[in-house]
Amino acid sequence: MKNELVLEHINKKFDDGSLILKDINLSLQQGTKLSVLGPSGSGKTTLLRLIAGLEIQDSGSILFNGQPMENIRPHKRNFGMMFQEFALFPHMNVFDNIAFGLKMKGKDKTEIDSRVKNMLSLTGLEGFETRQINELSGGERQRVALARTLAPNPGLLMLDEPLSSLDRVLRKRLLLELTNIISRLNITTIFVTHDHKEAFAAGNMVIVMNQGGIEQKGTPEELVQNPKNSWIKEFLGV
């Protein structure tokens, strides 16, 4: 299948020998919106870092579009990753932030201009081109970060607790904005959170992680209606 992401028997240990990820198996068709839900320390970020190529698994394989990722360096994988603090460049304006990845890829000016314009329109930021980052609200910053991540047209979008630094009210609003934009795109998205409400709102498929393993996989409805064991029940508060 085109742009399918497959994880087969992924295991990862860190130096101290504690098993971090245990036999992770996962297959995502293009366009899937997956939420990775689990308590702190359950291995969510490590899983994303492995897919991104920032860590290498001890055993198992990761395939994208049928191609093993093992020997492909992170920037060559063409995956987009958005972090908690958005990590925008404070000394660049909105246009240059969004154009950054395209410039790094050596795209010409015409292509950069047209792609940035598309991203500004997708994220509702038309007219913000020359604004400085410190002149933006939290929500606008988030949209710039999303536009920047999507500009190089990644095959996969990963978000690691993108809202966790915000207060509760803003979080709710921005989650809605974020999922609205992403749901219009046919891009496979992995959204990491420890909040089950966020996970259910952001994903049509959810994996619940516990101590480095996938405890249960299902749609939000399946998880709520059929939690597999008492740990899941308690974690989801159902």
Ligand X SMILES: Nc1ncnc2c1ncn2[C@@H]1O[C@H](COP(=O)(O)OP(=O)(O)OP(=O)(O)O)[C@@H](O)[C@H]1O
Residues within the interface to Mg ion (CB under 5 A): 45
Given the complex with ligand X, which of 1 and 56 has the nearer CB atom? Answer: 56
Given the complex with ligand X, which of 115 and 171 has the nearer CB atom? Answer: 171
Question: Residue 194's binding partner, choosing from Mg ion, ligand X, none, with beta-carbon cut-off 5 to 8 A by kind?
Answer: ligand X
DSSP string, 82-93: E-TTTT--TTSB
Given the complex with Mg ion, which of 47 and 88 has the nearer CB atom? Answer: 47
Given the complex with ligand X, which of 128 and 160 has the nearer CB atom? Answer: 160
Q: How far is the CB of 193 from ligand X (least distance, A)?
A: 8
DSSP string, 26-89: EEE-TT-EEEEE--TTSSHHHHHHHHHTSS--SEEEEEETTEE-TTS-GGGGTEEEE-TTTT--
Minimal CB distance to Mg ion: which residue?
Answer: 45
How far is residue 198's CA from residue 163's CA, in Å, rounded to a whole number? 9
Given the complex with ligand X, which of 62 and 144 has the nearer CB atom? Answer: 62
Q: How far is the CB of 145 from Mg ion (least distance, A)?
A: 17
Question: Residue 149's binding partner, choosing from Mg ion, ligand X, none, with beta-carbon cut-off 5 to 8 A by kind?
Answer: none
Question: Residue 162's binding partner, choosing from Mg ion, ligand X, none, with beta-carbon cut-off 5 to 8 A by kind?
Answer: none
Residues within the interface to ligand X (CB under 6 A): 14, 20, 38, 40-46, 194
Q: How far is the CB of 40 from ligand X (least distance, A)?
A: 3
Q: How far is the CB of 143 from ligand X (least distance, A)?
A: 23
Q: In what order do the strands lie in the sheet with 79-82?
A: 79-82, 156-160, 188-193, 33-37, 205-210, 213-218
How far is residue 168's CA from residue 81's CA, in Å, rounded to a whole number? 23
Q: How far is the CB of 224 from ligand X (least distance, A)?
A: 21
Shortest CA distance to 190 belongs to which of 156, 158, 154, 149? 158
H/E stretch holding 114 reads: helix 109-122
Q: How far is the CB of 36 from ligand X (least distance, A)?
A: 8
Given the complex with ligand X, which of 48 and 205 has the nearer CB atom? Answer: 48
Orientation of helix 168-183 relative to helix 138-150, angle to 10°:
30
What are φ and ψ of residue 33, in 5° steps?
A: -110, 100
